[in-house]
Chain A
Amino acid sequence: MNDVVKIIFKRLGLGLVTLLVISVIIFSAVEMLPGDIAQAVLGQGATKENVAAMREQLGLDRPAVVRYFEWLGNAVTGDFGHSLVSQKQVSSAISERFANTLFLALYAAVIAVPVAILLGVLTALWRNTPFDRVANVATLTSISSPEFFLGYILILFLSVKTGYFPSLAKINAEMGFFEKLERMFLPALTMVLVVVAHMMRMTRSAIINLLASPYIEMARLKGVPGWRIITHHALPNAWAPIINVIALNLAYLVTGVVLVEVVFVFPGIGQMLVDSVTKRDFPVVQACCLIFAATFILLNLAADVGAILTNPRLRHPK
């Protein structure tokens, strides 16, 4: 057991270092602006006094290293400074939207994960049959389509033409749980389509890889029926890759949400990021990027730790 703990701590430490490096990148990217933030925001026509006042306000006269540690220290405690455009606290604006985004991702994941694993197992079981071929082409098409294409198709057919679901996913805190679910159905479905395709292909190849191993051959020769080989012999060993697949796709769900949120006008953090990129509202951009990167790294970390924990060879060291 000791080894496993050691490996996991090593992995966690590596994740922390990566996150630190990324925070440096995000911070120094803004430092690389031609001139500085004050000049970039106020534009060429700004008077010297205005620029100087803004520099004073943002504390730009101090060295970058000092400001970085200040920014990082505040960010860790949840304070991302003030928006340049609305002057409001960034963290209060972000927290509600981030909760919405996480809710959407979770909603999509709850639908996508069971469907994808079931379909992945079925295609692995019936590989090279018409079912498998059709599934292959269908998932490839779904992966290759831009999210906004899938989103608008769903809007066109499930909302405008038939009126089954609302086309805009405008939600607010007063709405009941089920009303929210109904409003968010189309964006969630868009993400489900993309993620299921990915997960299913990865599950399928993970199981097929396993099916080539000698102990499966043995079980087959013993006369074990096909579905039982999958559930009793292949799946227990396939959990590690499958957990990996799930975590990677959750990471995708949280970050790939940007385009979907814009299509459905969903009040999430992705749309906020896009808005502030167009307005060049740097504190918000930094905060959003840091949150997205942190979530992405955390989920990747979870994938690795999950893979370590479910690997029988590591759990029972010789």
Chain B
Amino acid sequence: MNYFVIGYYTLLIGASCLAAYYQARTAFLLLFSLTLGSFIMGIIGGEPALWFVTVSAGVIALAAGTSYAFREFLVIILPDEMSRNVKGAPLTASFGLFVVMTYAIAGLFAPVIAPFGEAEVISTAFAPADAQMLLGADQLGRDMFSRIIYGARNSVGLALLATAIAFFFGAVAGLIAATKGGWFDQAMGRVVDVVMSIPSIIFALLLLSIFGTSTTTLVIVIGVIYSPRVFRLSRAVAGNIVVMDYIEAAKLRGEGTWYLIRKEILPNSTAPLIAEFGLEFSFVFLLVAGLSFLGLGIQPPTADWGSMVRENATLVSFGEITPLIPAGAIALLTVAVNFIVDWMLYRSSGLKE
């Protein structure tokens, strides 16, 4: 027993008692189950386990604080109607917005933020961190921090481009299929069924082995693999809309397919489609990261998070966490996008569940 352990339990138990006294049921349940959990973890893992809990609690508190501040900030600076929407957002959603904004800034202004170029060799291989290199050097002596910043531009940019392509073709085909119906709808449906019954990473590996691993092929291959998913969703969404009376009225007016899609169906299906774009983006982003990790995605010397993990993976066996930072960057962005999508789905469905 030392001061840290005593202080740790005193704080937890004291806080749970306070919560119980003030009838804060949620807070009490959380705090007290944490106390009970810590007993078990402390017995198994000893003091390091308790430090781990403390640090994670600190990180979560920091994240919650940032999200709260960011939400209030958005409420103040945004115009009236948008700020009302943001006001009701859960903290997770504003955390997601904050992360996405940070990544966007890092990606857009990468050359300004990064102290060195992405392919610039400035030190020896695996040099430890110093005042110049915040995170040390990678396997060729390039600055890890600069490469992570550039990675925000390359990895996210490529995933965005691929998603946009998949989304454009999938959504257009889906909307046309739903509006026109008939043989086009049937044929597309069968094709989509087949493509979707091949697991995406296997399909990607097959196509990449044949067409090689240039960035252009990568984008096209991912577009081919993911557009069927978008097709299904947009067809389902539009399918619910084309049976509405106002579509019937527009058809009787003699409007063409293109007008129907653009003026009647699209405005009424934006919310689910945008949410779907977010979801698709996180799938595509994970797939690109996985392919890069396997050495088949974005090719060196372009800085990319997936390949950075692979190149520096040996460091993990020496107990270093640097190779985990790019992997964590991937995870953080995907989590953030998922938080935002969750919130949007909740808002558009208006369900309480």
Q: Is the CB of B330 within 8 A of A149?
A: yes
A78 within 8 A of B: no
A112 within 8 A of B: no
* Interchain CB contact (< 8 A) of A152 among B316, B334, B339, B342: B316
Interface pick from A95-103, A169-177, A291-299, A305-313: A291-299
With A29-B210, A137-B92, A285-B209 as known contacts, state yes or no: A152 contacts B309, CB within 8 Å: yes
Looking at A146, A148, A278, A296, which has the most chain B CB atoms within 10 Å of its CB? A146
A25-49 near B? 1/0 per residue, CB < 8 Å: 1100110110000000000000000
Interface pick from B3-11, B131-139, B171-179, B199-207: B199-207
A289 within 8 A of B: yes
Q: Is the CB of A282 within 8 A of B209?
A: yes
- In the complex, which residues of chain B have a beta carbon less than 8 angstroms from the beta carbon of A285? 205-206, 209
- In the complex, which residues of chain A have a beta carbon less than 8 angstroms from the beta carbon of B317? 155, 160, 167
With CB as the reference atom, state the residue of chain A lying closest to B90: A133
With CB as the reference atom, state the residue of chain B lying closest to A143: B338
Q: Is the CB of B331 within 8 A of A144?
A: yes
Q: How far, in angstroms, from A146 to B293 measured CA to CA in the complex?
A: 10
- In the complex, which residues of chain A have a beta carbon less than 8 angstroms from the beta carbon of B306? 146
Q: Is the CB of A161 within 8 A of B198?
A: no
- In the complex, which residues of chain A have a beta carbon less than 8 angstroms from the beta carbon of B309? 148-149, 152
Q: Is the CB of A160 within 8 A of B328?
A: no
A123 within 8 A of B: no
Q: Is the interface of A mostly helix, strand, loop or mixed?
A: helix
B183 within 8 A of A: no
Q: State how many angstroms separate the Cβ of B300 from the closest Cβ of chain A.
A: 14
Q: Is the CB of B331 within 8 A of A141?
A: yes
Q: How far, in angstroms, from A143 to B335 measured CA to CA in the complex?
A: 8
- In the complex, which residues of chain B have a beta carbon less than 8 angstroms from the beta carbon of A29? 206-207, 210
Q: How far, in angstroms, from A50 to B335 measured CA to CA in the complex?
A: 52
With A152-B309, A152-B327, A293-B197 as known contacts, state yes or no: A160 contacts B29, CB within 8 Å: no
Residues of chain B in range 192-228 having any CB-CB distance to chain A below 8 Å = 193-194, 197-199, 201-203, 205-210
B282 within 8 A of A: yes
Q: Is the CB of A255 within 8 A of B202?
A: yes
Q: Is the interface of B mostly helix, strand, loop or mixed?
A: helix
- In the complex, which residues of chain B have a beta carbon less than 8 angstroms from the beta carbon of A134? 30
Residues of chain B in range 160-186 having any CB-CB distance to chain A below 8 Å = none
Q: How far, in angstroms, from A167 to B193 measured CA to CA in the complex?
A: 39
Q: Is the CB of B210 within 8 A of A32?
A: yes
Q: Is the CB of B330 within 8 A of A146?
A: yes
B286-313 near A? 1/0 per residue, CB < 8 Å: 1001100111100000000010010001
Q: How far, in angstroms, from A33 to B208 measured CA to CA in the complex?
A: 11
A122 within 8 A of B: no
B107 within 8 A of A: no
Q: Is the CB of B331 within 8 A of A21?
A: no
With A141-B331, A146-B290, A160-B319 as known contacts, state yes or no: A26 contacts B210, CB within 8 Å: no
Q: State how many angstroms separate the Cβ of B267 from the closest Cβ of chain A.
A: 29
Q: Give the size of the chain B interface in residues (CB under 8 angstroms).
A: 48
- In the complex, which residues of chain B have a beta carbon less than 8 angstroms from the beta carbon of A161? 319
* Interchain CB contact (< 8 A) of A18 among B197, B206, B286, B313: B197
Q: Is the CB of A259 within 8 A of B30?
A: no
A186 within 8 A of B: no
A97-136 near B? 1/0 per residue, CB < 8 Å: 0000000000000000000000000000001011100100
Q: State how many angstroms separate the Cβ of A237 from the closest Cβ of chain B.
A: 18
Q: Is the CB of A160 within 8 A of B296?
A: no
A262 within 8 A of B: yes
B321 within 8 A of A: yes
Q: Is the CB of A155 within 8 A of B205?
A: no
B12 within 8 A of A: no
Q: Is the CB of B209 within 8 A of A280?
A: yes
A196 within 8 A of B: no
B17-59 near A? 1/0 per residue, CB < 8 Å: 0000000001001100100000000000000000000000000
A92 within 8 A of B: no
- In the complex, which residues of chain A have a beta carbon less than 8 angstroms from the beta carbon of B294? 258-259, 262, 274
Q: How far, in angstroms, from A130 to B19 measured CA to CA in the complex?
A: 14
Q: State how many angstroms separate the Cβ of B285 from the closest Cβ of chain A.
A: 9
Q: Is the CB of B194 within 8 A of A18?
A: yes
With A140-B339, A152-B327, A156-B316 as known contacts, state yes or no: A277 contacts B296, CB within 8 Å: yes
B353 within 8 A of A: yes
Looking at B33, B199, B289, B321, which has the most chain A CB atoms within 10 Å of its CB? B199
Q: Is the CB of B335 within 8 A of A141?
A: yes
Q: Is the CB of A255 within 8 A of B199?
A: yes
Residues of chain A in range 68-92 having any CB-CB distance to chain B below 8 Å = none
- In the complex, which residues of chain A have a beta carbon less than 8 angstroms from the beta carbon of B295? 278
- In the complex, which residues of chain B have a beta carbon less than 8 angstroms from the beta carbon of A276? 209
* Interchain CB contact (< 8 A) of A289 among B194, B205, B324: B205
* Interchain CB contact (< 8 A) of B324 among A152, A282, A296: A152
B151 within 8 A of A: no
Q: Is the CB of A140 within 8 A of B293?
A: no
With A146-B286, A152-B309, A153-B324 as known contacts, state yes or no: A25 contacts B194, CB within 8 Å: yes
- In the complex, which residues of chain B have a beta carbon less than 8 angstroms from the beta carbon of A21? 194
With A29-B207, A259-B293, A277-B205 as known contacts, state yes or no: A156 contacts B286, CB within 8 Å: no
- In the complex, which residues of chain A have a beta carbon less than 8 angstroms from the beta carbon of B29? 129-131
Lowest 4 CB-CB distances: which A-B pairs, in order? A144-B334, A149-B327, A255-B199, A145-B331
**Partner-B contacts on A (CB < 8 A):** 18, 21-22, 25-26, 29-30, 32-33, 127, 129-131, 134, 137, 140-141, 143-149, 152-153, 155-156, 160-161, 167, 208, 212, 251, 255-256, 258-259, 262-263, 273-274, 276-278, 280, 282, 285, 288-289, 292-293, 296-297, 300
